[in-house]
Amino acid sequence: MPWKVVMPRLDPGMKTGKLIRWLKKEGELVKKGEEIATAEGEKTTFPIESPADGVLAKILVQEGEEVPVLTTLAIVAALGEEISEEEFEREAPREAVEVRASPAARRLAKDYGIDLRKVRGTGPGGRITKEDVLRYVESAGLRAEPGEEGPRVLKEIELTGKRGTIARRLTESHREIPSVTIVMRADMSRALELRRREAAEGRKFSITALVVKAAAKALEEHRELNSSVVGDKIIVYDEINVGVAVSVPDGLVVPVIRDANKKDVMQITRKIEELASKARSEEGLSPEDVSGGTFTVSNLGAEGVEIFTPIINPPQSAILGVGAIVPTPVGGETGIELRPQMALCLVFDHRVVDGVPAARFLRRVVELLENPEGLI
């Protein structure tokens, strides 16, 4: 009896996976549980394992192809077993490839060469309309009229893999979450002095780690922001797992610092460095590295950005944007003084929390950063 090797679904929101590399060739022996391929999902890369002992009889999906989850990638057969032609045919789950669209939408999509699976339908039951295709044409920057000459193209970037996941999740967040942004500034004088003192003792911590620790401690007191909206329920989490946005060559990943409230700043610093290095390596992050986050911190201060409004990482309810530390004139005891100020932008889901509780949470983060000794 032959066994099918399929593209796994790693989480409920995963729609597709990309076959990166085959580690075995057709006709080679394989063992049950042995890694035979590497694939890329919506958050990370992961191994594909053989479902049984035998021979890799037929490869159906080539390296570089992106396919719906549960698509048959290959066939494993017992040694000497003959396989029928039907079992060599690539299979994909019916629900993953079926597209409901109006005739006008199909004609327009054909004119523009658009894959209707990439178009979000707004008609009854998710049916794709002509207007949906026109919106996609506009958002994708395609030619205004089929056949009309446009500007010269430097390159095309497929919205697949990590880049496609980023696009899909940010669009989902922007479309479905009624977000509100509030901004406060923290005086980082004592934090910078503490950082200098600790560095002199060989214990240099990062500002990002300090913010992660402050946010985690504040979440202990303001649990409503450590939550998700699932269906018609708000799920408040017991664990405080803070994701840290990390830039990688092909996009953005958010590795997770688990139980951040129970770690000290040096432990968080080392964990961020370890995960960031892993994210930028050929190995990449594992599914465990990026799953289970309950809150996110995104720091663009190192790039000179003072204030920005990040988009919530669904299904979480809040994200904290951290800006650069900037010398800023403020009123002091002896008049106007230049003090190192850092803007903190809290973006939160208004379905989950109102403005006053959110402001109290952010005020607590500011208090902790301005009195950082308790975070070390």
Q: In the chain, where do the E strands start and end?
A: 3-6, 16-22, 29-30, 35-40, 45-49, 54-59, 66-68, 72-77, 179-187, 227-230, 233-236, 242-244, 246-248, 251-253, 256-257, 295-299, 318-332, 335-349
DSSP H or E run through 174: helix 161-176
Amino acid identity at 349: D
Annotated catalytic, 350?
yes
Fill in the DSSP letter of residue 128.
B
Alpha carbons 73 and 88: distance in angstroms, whole number: 10
**Bridge partners of 241?**
none
Q: Which token pair is 165?
A: 């996941």
d(CA 236, CA 225): 8
Catalytic-residue membership of 264: no
Read off the DSSP letter of residue 194. H
Give the integer Cα–Cα distance in Å for 280 and 359. 35
The catalytic position among 111, 259, 264, 354 is: 354
| Beta-carbon contacts of residue 47 (< 8 Å; ≥ 6 apart) | 35, 37, 38, 39
User: Alpha carbon of 213 to those of 85, 263, 295, 314: distances in Å?
Assistant: 58, 8, 12, 21
Runs of H (alpha helix) within 31-123:
94-97, 103-112
Q: Give the active site residue among 11, 111, 259, 350.
A: 350
- Contact status, residue 36 vs residue 23, Cβ threshold 8 Å: yes
Instruction: Give the active site residues.
Output: 350, 354
